[in-house]
Amino acid sequence: MHKLIKNLQDRQLIWKGLQSTTQGSTTSSGYPQLDKQLNGGFPAHGVIEIESKQGIGELRLLTPYLSQQNPQKLAIFINPPGKICAEFFNNQGIHLENILVIQPQRDLDALWAAEQCLKSGACHSVLLWGADLEIHQTKRLQAASETGKCLQFHFKATSHNQLSLPVSLSMRLSAHAQGLKVEVTKRKGSWSYGNFVLDMSQNWPLLTQKVIHEDNSHRALSDNTVLAFPIAKQG
């Protein structure tokens, strides 16, 4: 029985309550505050699920990470919800020749493309937008990620689907005046730590504006408040 338990532990199929939560290699997200919450940063490979509305800063969450990856490898964008802005990535130090955009017509084709890119060894990151994943699909992406040592980010819309997938990390994002409110809903080999506010004002100073305090009863924008991005026109 002891050999069986040890074998399961070696394969990380069981977890002991007293074991360290720093198991496995990590890579910095580019945000020290987020790295601290994740005990070092993003996992080196695996599937990261990001539940978020579009246009609240979800891509800004990943650009510091993308900019520090191996320049000899590719970042793959599969079915992004909008056109990729070349100037944005140039300003972040991400070379355009290292970005490949794939726009399959069907979700199944998008999943196939993601799996091939993950296990190819030519990519450091695959960003996939699309429908909710099934358990067997997630397992295939996890296996491909481990084969190619490539990290998979899956963006999904906020939904009521509470199916727990075998992902390495799951986060739920919502807009916040100072950046993003991040809720870590699942982390492989560890407990979730609830939610926290990720302050983006240092990384994105041009998206902040000074606040003017009018009086105690009416408070205008104050200090450095990160503006929602993109800003919707009103009128």
29 within some domain: yes
Q: For the segment 200-219, what is each residue's pLDDT rounded down to a tens digit?
A: 888 877 664 444 444 454 44
Q: For the segment 122-169, what is each residue's pLDDT rounded down to a tens digit?
A: 999 999 998 789 999 999 999 999 999 999 999 998 765 567 899 999
13 within some domain: no
Mean pLDDT of 6-26: 56
pLDDT band, residue 8 (cuts 50/70/90): low
pTM, rounded to two decimals: 0.78
Q: For the segment 59-116, what is each residue's pLDDT rounded down to a tens digit?
A: 999 999 999 999 999 999 999 999 989 999 999 999 999 999 999 999 999 999 999 9
Q: Which residue has the higher pLDDT, 188 or 9?
A: 188
pLDDT at residue 22, rounded to an integer: 42
pLDDT band, residue 1 (cuts 50/70/90): low
pLDDT at residue 191, rounded to an integer: 64
pLDDT at residue 9, rounded to an integer: 61
150 within some domain: yes
pLDDT at residue 221, rounded to an integer: 46
Give percent above pLDDT 70 in the chain: 74
The DSSP bridge partners found for residue 101 are 77
221 within some domain: no
pLDDT at residue 202, rounded to an integer: 84
The range of the structural domain enclosing residue 54 comes to 25-200
Q: Total structural domains in the chain?
A: 1
6 within some domain: no
215 within some domain: no
pLDDT at residue 217, rounded to an integer: 47
CATH code, 54: 3.40.50.300
115 within some domain: yes
3 within some domain: no
